Amino acid sequence: MSIDSEIKLDFKDVLIRPKRSTLASRSEVSLERTFKFVNSGQEWTGIPIMTSNMDTTGTFEMYDVLSKYKMLTCFHKHYTLNDFEIKNSKTKLDKEYYCLSTGIGDDDWFKLKQIVQLLNPKFICIDVANGYSYKFLEFVKKVRKKYPQMILIGGNIVTREMVEELTLNGGLDICKIGIGNGSVCTTRIQTGVGYPQLSAVMECSDGAHGMNSHIISDGGVQNPGDIAKAFGAGADFIMSGSLFAGHDQSAGDLVEIDGKKYKEFYGMSSSNAMNKYYGGVAKYRSAEGKCVRVSYKGDVEETIQSILGGVRSTMTYIGAKRLKDLPKCTTFIRVNRQVNDLFK
């Protein structure tokens, strides 16, 4: 047993200090980035914000809108080969703006190979709750060997040494950072395991960038300001589920309660998800997610504009003309209150 007594911080613990800026308008800043990935050798250009690969947000309908903004949709792993065949026959999927997801079981491997043969995607996301397992590392190696030219995303992890292991020995291009920080995740409650997200992003980005590799900050963002903080802390990509939940393009039933409309949103380790896809929660484990109703938000385009507008505004406050410049222009200040919440 040991204790790391250094204080670790979350998005709620800091604000970004403004600086003198020559930028006169939000229209002067650029949110697009171009990355070259260390293990695949591939390049990608776009706005590095993506939906989580949850079955309520990683949908074909979400892709139809986000792709217009050069943003990524990480499709949930429960789409079948037939689902992709039907979608691709109606509207050819642009490989620049979506990512396939897979688990690490034998059935996942079999299905992944079928879908890759159909689509020849650019991105594959190997998604597990615990990226520290030996089985996960071995699966990452297997996928890299089979598909050396594809951009591989994997996680979730929260520490520098695992970023180094998965990049150097596993072959990942992008490590997914975040454990227990999602809005419908209960891992920290059930297990006591986790890491404050801002500090995790800072630590892992430092490790990744030293190897010319990249990270995604996955989860924990509640608003556009948190997205800006994640970029400022060194994240290359941001992934969110909650910000994209509750829209027309999100899956889930639309219900009306006392005259107000809601949509269902749940974690992929919740009992709701496991009942839906696996016939229930296995007796040797517990659910690590919850189900909530989120207010119906209409078309996702309005949310996208809010997110992009918020990040652009952050950049004008600190003089960052390019998204790439945001970390070097960011100074965090620790706070005990972020906002005046008199009128909630």
What residues are labeled active site? 185, 187
Provide the residue type at 208 as one letter. A
CB 144 within 8 Å of CB 170 = yes
Dihedral sign from CA coordinates of 19, 20, 22, 23: positive
Gap between the Cα atoms of 117 and 13, Å rounded:
46
With H, G, I as helix, E, B as strand and everything else as coil, classify residue 99: strand
Angle between helices 134-146 and 106-119 (to 10 degrees): 30
**What's the half-sphere exposure (Cβ side, CA atoms, 13 Å) at 209?**
14
Going by C-alpha positions, the residue among 175, 121, 184 that lies closest to residue 153 is 175
Two tokens at 63?
A: 């892709």
The secondary structure of residue 185, as a DSSP letter, is: B
Dihedral sign from CA coordinates of 128, 327, 167, 95: positive
Contacts of 252 (CB under 8 A, 6+ apart): 56, 245, 263, 264, 265
Residues counted in the chain: 344
The secondary structure of residue 98, as a DSSP letter, is: E
Pairing state of beta strands 49-51 and 72-74?
Answer: parallel
The secondary structure of residue 182, as a DSSP letter, is: S
Pairing state of beta strands 33-36 and 43-46?
Answer: antiparallel
